Amino acid sequence: MITKYLISRHDKAGIVFLTIVGLMAVLAPLSNLLLPESSPLHVPTYVLALLGKYLCYATLAVALDLVWGYCGILSLGHGAFFALGGYAMGMYLMRQIGTRGVYGNPVLPDFMVFLNWKELPWFWYGFDMFPFSLLMMVAVPGLLAFVFGWLAFRSRVTGVYLSIITQALTYALLLAFFRNDMGFGGNNGLTDFKDILGFNIQADGTRATLFFLSAILLIAVYLISRWIVHTSYGKVLVAVRDAEARARFLGYRTEHYKLFVFTVSAMMAGLAGALYVPQVGIINPSEFAPANSIEAVVWVAVGGRGTLVGAALGAFAVNFMKTFFTTGALAAYWLFLLGGLFILVTLVMPKGILGLFGSMSAKLRKPGSSQPAALQPAE
């Protein structure tokens, strides 16, 4: 039933999105590896790295849209789940360095030797094995989301209060991970990675593979999210978003619905973070910064909340602008631009870029009609 669903019933935006990401997944790495640098179609390695980063951000955005756009949980701490997945990957990569570190210690990462630690802390055990690390990339964010969500949703914390405590959650983690004695490299975080699964992390082939995997992850996260929102589970989510009390009086245990989707979303964000780290080569506590999580919310809002495709689109659009503006003379004004963009989008196009496309194509088809297209996000 699920497979049948996956190949059917896609709206136009969804098909366009899947085609573009699918093509990107295959063509960009191939062009980078096979075409000569002189070719106009050659994708330089730095562009590939940049796009790979965007793909991870887009995955985070889709995960956030699942909880915010459909269930009304405005999480201002989703960056925390992304960063936790990233740290799990970082720990694996640190253990792969082995004797090639500055201090040549076969077990202890450099920063531990530097801090004069004699043995590996217990929570670093197992991270030399990839399957265990992979499990942790999903399980740690998932578990945190589950415990946090269980406490928050059971106590019926909603709306702005929930947003504030998610923000506090990521800020608390930021402060904790800054501390050297937490055992996660403190301020500097984890870096100087060498290998991933035996492949040199700097090699073009590895980078291309990581890019490919990021695109596949985005597609998978999109398809899973889309499946969730199109079942009657998704209908209950929207019902909870719009009239939670009504859903309760119908007999739905709304906190269970929220908890499940929040946990799934955190796991998705964790995987996105895990693929992000080897591509940027570092993970440090700044990834927990509240501003990062807020930026993710801006991506979703700009792209179009409650559409999934819009969230990914917004992540690409805003990050492209960020790359463009922060490398030029306008760098100092980027945050003002970002803030302005958020205000502009909220005021002028509440349904985001995708909503704009939708109403434009609706107008073309039916002049004078203000009826939005079928893929419009629900208010």
Cβ neighbours for 181, distance < 8 A, ≥ 6 positions apart: 115
First to last CA, the chain: 30
The residue range among 84-92, 170-178, 210-218, 234-242 that interacts with other proteins, by the rule CB under 8 A, is 234-242
Residues 210-229 contacting other proteins, CB under 8 A: 228
What's the min distance (Å) between Cβ of 106 and other proteins?
Answer: 46
Give CA–CA dist 281/93, Å, rounded.
10
What's the min distance (Å) between Cβ of 78 and other proteins?
Answer: 21
Cα 251 from chain centre: 33
What's the min distance (Å) between Cβ of 379 and other proteins?
Answer: 6
Give the number of C-alpha atoms closer than 13 A to the C-alpha of residue 272, restricted to the C-beta side: 33
Exactly one of 6, 200, 242, 369 binds other proteins (CB under 8 A); which one? 242
Give CA–CA dist 52/25, Å, rounded.
10
Exactly one of 9, 100, 179, 235 binds other proteins (CB under 8 A); which one? 235
Exactly one of 114, 117, 199, 252 binds other proteins (CB under 8 A); which one? 252
Give CA–CA dist 71/197, Å, rounded.
38
Cα 42 from chain centre: 27
Site string for other proteins, 2-31 (x = CB under 8 A): x-----------------------------
374 near other proteins, judged by CB under 8 A: no
Nearer to other proteins, 88 or 247 (CB): 247
Residue pair 247/125 in contact by the 8 Å Cβ criterion: no
Nearer to other proteins, 29 or 304 (CB): 304
Residues 254-273 contacting other proteins, CB under 8 A: 254, 256-257, 260
The residue type of 65 is D
184 near other proteins, judged by CB under 8 A: no
Give CA–CA dist 327/339, Å, rounded.
18
The torsion of the CA quartet 214, 50, 171, 335, rounded to 10 degrees, works out to: -140
Positions that interact with other proteins (CB under 8 A): 1-2, 228, 231-233, 235-236, 238-239, 242-243, 245-254, 256-257, 260, 378-379
